[in-house]
Each structure stands twice: as C-alpha cells, then as structure tokens.
Structure 1
Amino acid sequence: MVSAGKDHNLALRRDGTVWAWGRNEGGQLGDGTRESKLVPVQVKGLKDVVMVAAAEGHSLALKRDGTIWVWGFNSDGVLGLNEIVTHCEVPLKVEGLGEIVSIATNRYLVFALRKDGRIVAWGERRYKHLCGDIDLWDKRKFIIIDKLEDIVAIALGENHAVALRQDGRVLTWGVFEYDLWRENKRIFPVLIERELLEDVRMIAAGYKHALVVKGDGSVWAWGMNRRGQLGDGTVVSKVFPVRVRGIEGVVSISGGGWHTVAVKEDGSIWGWGFNYFGQVGSRDGVVREEDYVITTPVEVFDKSFFG
C-alpha cells in the first residue's frame, strides 16, 4: 500500500518494511536524517507493518500486533508522544494503545480505528469538529468518537473526514468547501447517496480532496483540483465524484497535500498532481519543470522497484 503526505510518501512492501520519499525537513521519511529524497529509502527499525499513514510533516505505521509507531514533526502533540519531543527521525511507539486495525492522520489530528469498530482520536483542539465537537478536549489524551457503526476504514483530509462502512457506502463530515451538499461544515457523519457512490472498497483523503476505489478497480475523486490531484486531466475543482483517467486495477490509494499516489494490481506505483518536491516521484531521480503539475496518472515506479 501507499500513503501520501503533503510533500512526501510512504510505501509498504509485502515483507512488512516501509519505504519513503519526498520532503524530509522533520524526519518524516524515518531514515534517520532530515534530507529530502527523490527515490525511496527504507524507514529504519520497522518490520511486520500492515498499514501506513502520512501527513504534512509526520508519518505513522500500524504493526501486525496492533501497535502504532510514529516519526517526523510533533506539531501540537500529533504524534501522541511527550510534547517536549519536537520531532523524531526514526519511528517511536505510541504507548497506551492496542488492538488498532486502521489509522488515518492529517496535519494536527490522528484517528485510530479499534478492533471493536470505535475510533480513538488525539491531536490539536481546533480540529474537534471532526470528533463530534467534543467539549472536553485535551490534546495529550485519547478520546473516543461515537455515532459511527460498522466502519471498516477511515481517512482524514485537512479539515474533513471520510469513513467506509461494511456495505460499501461512504460517509463524510467536517469543514469542506467541496461538500456534496454545499454545506461547509458538518459535525456529524452524513451518508453519501447511493446514486453517487456505492460498491466502494477503499477510501482516501488529501488536503482538500477525497478519493475512492470501487469494486471494479476504478478510481473516483472530488474536491480541490488546482494542481491536477483529481487526475481527470483538468485543474478544475469538482463537487461531485469524477473518474480518474487512464488507471484501473487499483489496490491502494492515498491523497497527499496536492497530489495522489496509487498502487496497481501488478505492484506498480502511479501518481498525479503537484510534483515540485518530487512527491509524486521520478523514475530517473530528476524532477523537470514540465513535471511540476501532472493532471493524469503516470507510472513512477514499476513493479520491480520494491521487489
């Protein structure tokens, strides 16, 4: 699987190791340095990983034993560590959590889906509208989000959240100017109409865009599109889902700040959107000016790259 942060990406190999590329000012690549990389480097000290999540300046990994590991910038305690820690260049374990089956993060907030279907959250207080507008909020402590049932996957954008139910239906909430109902703020989850989205198998959220993969392997997206992150060949933002052009057979998808990354059935990695920092990727390690904005999917690493 892959996960796209604002300007960096994470890729999970079949052997349970994690690889990263892109911007690295806060150590979000997890390779023990703060130097940006155009080609993937291995995250240090991680194995048995089953899921990864990247945000603006930090990264998360979920291990097979249900524990969460974090690295990068610790803005407002988003890593769930002691707030004295400003950043970490290698993964550290978040204490006090277990039986986690899915993770999601944005710049200042983390969602962790428990085995019992409930969501644990922590992070910056100004994002409490994503947690049911909870009054008692301490960014140093974990809270439980109610009013959600039968959830199998979660995703976080900058100010909006997306959840996938067992029946293939999608819910959204938060502050999102590209809301399907043209209402900027929804504190509690709302189900997207079946006519617009159904038979969804995977979800993802970028800074101000959202994506789904349907049962037939097609990818659909909506939201901000100023850098081509929707992949429909334009830079026009969309309120309703549009099909991403030129890609199918997708088995993993992730939205970054202004870009999107996907993995196909054959193991190849594809990307589109803003590529100024090489966050989409480059097969030859060079990012040219004409590749700063990519409006349709391109293959950036073939199936042999990660073994």
Structure 2
Amino acid sequence: MKSRVGSVLLGALVSVLLGSGVARSQPGKAWEPLARTVLDGSAYDSVLLRADGTVWVWGSPYSYLQGPAPAPMAGLTDVVAISSGGEHGLALRADGTVSAWGSNWNGELGDGTYEWRVTAAPVLDLTDVVSIAAGFGYSLALRADGTVWAWGSNWSGQLGVGVPLDWNDYQKNRPVRVPGLVDVVAISAGEEHSLALRADGTVWAWGNNWFGQLGGATAHENSFLPVQVPGLSDVKRIDAGRAYNLVVRADGTLWAWGRNWSGQLGDGTMTDRPMPMQVPGLPEVAAAAGGDGHALALAKDGTVWAWGGNHFGALGDGTRIHRLTPAPVPQLDKVVALAAGHSHSLAVRKDGSVWGWGHNLFGSVGDGTASSEPRLTPARAVLPCRSVGLPALDNRHLEPRECHAAP
C-alpha cells in the first residue's frame, strides 16, 4: 500500500520470510514465497532487502532515505522482511522482532513516542512476528500465533480495534491486538484500510470504505472492526492498493474491487466496484501489486502484466497511454517478484537484478538518475553485482561494482 497522499508505493525485497500480503506457510499448505527476494511497495521511495539481510533504499523526498542511487541503511542487519508506508518503514528481523524508522506523526513507529527517526528503532511489545505491513501513517504485524497487531493512525478505523471512545483511540503509539481475528496467514495495508487473509482462504477488511474497498459493506461507511469480504474463497495472496484491492485465488485467477478512477481494477471501465470481480485477460497469476492508480500482475510464466493509470509511465510499455485492461510489460521476463508504487513500478528477475520504471522525479527507478522525465520502459537499478559472500569489488576503487546488463 498503499499509495499515500504525497507518497507512493515503495519497493522492498523480502528474503525467506514473506512480506506484506504473502501467506505464511501452514502445515499441509504449500504457500511458500516466490523466491528468496520479493518486492513490496509504498511511496515515491523504494526499499530493497538483499539476501544477506541488509536493507537498501533510494528515491524518496523524505530525509531518512538517500538519493536516486540505492544505498544501504545503517544499523539494519538480519532482516528477513520489509515494508514501507511511504513516509515510514518497517523491518522484520530474524529473531521475530520489528524495527521502524521515518515519520511518526501518528505513532506509526510503535516506540511509545511521536518522534521521527532517521535510523531504525525497535517496536515495543512485539515478538514472534512473521509478517509486517506499513500503511499511510499506521502499521500492522502478524504474529506466529495467527493474531494481528496494529499501531499508528486510526482516523478511518484502519487499526481495526473498535470504534474510538476518546481522542487517544484515534492514534496508538504502541501495538494493540486487532480483536476477532484468528488463524491469519497474511496481512496487507492500503492507504487507510487493511486486509487479512485467514488460513481458510477467506479475506477480512477494515478501515476506510469510501470507494467500497472493504467489499460488500455499504460504500462510504467505514468499519472500525474487521468484516469478511463476501464472494471470496480459496485466496492465496492479498495486496491492498491505495483504495482498492487485489487477491490471487488458488486457481491462479486475480480478483479486484474498490476504487477504479484510472482503470486499476482492469475490467475495461473506470467505475468503482464494492464487490470483488475477476480481472479478465490474464494468464495464470502468481502474485499481484496495487499502486495508486495502476496495478501489476506476475504471471506464473515469469511475465509481468500492467494496467491502469500511465501518465508517468508506470505500465512500462513505452507510452503514457492509460490501459483499462491488462497488457504485458514488453521485454521483461523471468520475473519472480514485483511492486507497484504511486506512479512507478519495480520488478526482480530470477538472476536477482532489480528493474524500475515510471515516475522518477526523486529517483524512484533506482538507476542513479532523478528526472522530471519518467522512465517509460524498465531500467536496471544500480546495485552491486550478485556474489557469494562479500559484494564484488572493483580493484581500482575498492567499491561494489555496478551491473547494467540489459534484460
């Protein structure tokens, strides 16, 4: 999620554990991550989790990130999953604890304060966490016992903890349990609404419902407690866009509902839909990512499909033409993970390389440039070459060697 006002969906590479929206493994269920590295999205910034447990960031207008070229964040090690809300980030460590950094207006860092942090600090009172999700000004965590915990902004009910009784209930600066949810296997955070996937394949939603993003409930009526999304079963993966949702069912079909102002639901219209409907014209889908006004799907054959708003080239087809139905992203194959930003997109190929396209004013694409001219086709992010152990070094400069090979 995801996109935020003045923010966008960001990229995060997740290692062996799953990130936002990916079901954690359950006995008897083959719900494994797609690869050792997986993308997650949120604002104009991008975040990468490498297989060595380090976190790399680029392309944000906010002070805690570092320019258009990927650079490692200090103090973050042994990270297995990461998520960004655009103005704040979350990192899940191998020991099951969570660290957070960035904006803290609403207590979204979960450290008991409202003080911003440029470096990561532990979230209080959380252990045994297996998945994390950052929304706009709030955060979610899934523990190994299947319970969901939330903190930060609650103005639209996105924490799912019940109708606020006083001013303090509209913001929480440390985690509280979301009541009524058990056996949860995946979570995802939108701009002001949240999703949870239970082990029985059902999807639950809460928070802002202005565009019908909670599914089934009357549009414009927010819910401060989780409600089941009707008409969905056998769901394997979930992803919340800014004010809409994408879910992948066990048969590989993709379903969407919520806001559709630029065709991000992929149904050939720009009509909001409060009930889930299948996105037509797609091959068998493995994963999906929702941005602000555009959406991405990763097919099981490793191709990427895109649709929706394209003013900044987020669809990667070399044009700025909006698409109301899915179309493949040209010259991009062997993809194992993807993420959708506010107006930019990210993908990871099987060889571990990262590719970005779309809005690049702050360097969101990761190719080392920042320009008002968007990247209309995928460009390779400037990252050290893959290596066993330490990154490859250029003997002349004793710096990680950058790789720029074409797809």
1:113–1:154 CA contact under 8 A, matched in 2: yes
In 1, the alpha carbon distance for the partners of 2:340 and 2:149 equals: 30
Q: Distance in 1 between matches of 2:111 and 2:261?
A: 35
| Residues 1:183 and 2:212 aligned together | no
Q: Which amino acid aligns with 2:98?
A: I
The structure with the greater share of residues assigned to strand is 1
The unaligned stretches of length 5 or more in structure 1 are 30-34
Length, aligned pairs only? 289
Which amino acid in the other structure matches residue 52 of structure 1?
I
Corresponding position of 1:274? 343
Over the aligned positions, Cα root-mean-square deviation in angstroms equals 3.5
Partner amino acid, structure 1, of 2:153: E
Listed as ranges, the matches of 1:75-154 within 5 Å are 75-81=105-111, 83=113, 85-86=115-116, 88-128=117-157, 130-135=160-165, 137=169, 139-154=172-187
TM-score normalised to the size of structure 1?
Answer: 0.77
Percent of aligned positions with the same letter in both sequences? 30
| Pair 73,107 (structure 1): closer, same or farther in 2 beyond 3 Å | same
| Amino acid aligned to 1:56 | G
CA contact (8 A) 1:122 1:139 kept: yes
User: Is 2:243 aligned against 1:243?
Assistant: no
Secondary structure of 1:171 counterpart: strand
Q: Which residue of 2 aligns with 1:15?
A: 52
Report the Cα offset of residue 206 of structure 1: 2.3
Against the structure 1 CA distance between its residues 78 and 13, is the aligned structure 2 distance closer, same or farther, given a 3 Å change threshold? same
Q: How does 1:1-307 map to 2 (within 5 A)?
A: 1-27=38-64, 29=65, 35-37=66-68, 39-81=69-111, 83=113, 85-86=115-116, 88-128=117-157, 130-135=160-165, 137=169, 139-179=172-212, 180-181=215-216, 182-184=218-220, 185-194=222-231, 197-226=232-261, 230=264, 232=266, 236-239=270-273, 240-243=276-279, 250-251=286-287, 253-258=288-293, 266-267=335-336, 269=338, 271=340, 274-275=343-344, 276-277=359-360, 281=365, 285=369, 289=373, 301=380, 307=386
- Preserved contact between residue 154 and residue 163 of structure 1 (Cα < 8 Å): yes
Q: Deviations over 1:106-125 (max 9, x none)?
A: 12221212222222222134
Give how far 1:98 is off: 1.0
TM-score (norm 2): 0.60
User: Is the Cα–Cα contact under 8 Å of residues 67 and 100 in structure 1 kept in the other structure?
Assistant: yes
Please state whether the residue corresponding to 1:66 is helix, strand or coil.
coil
- Are 1:5 and 1:257, in contact at CA under 8 Å, matched by a contact in 2? no
What is the rounded CA distance, in whole Å, between the counterparts of 1:55 and 1:222 in structure 2?
Answer: 21
Structure 2 gaps of 5+ residues are 1-37, 303-333, 345-358, 387-407
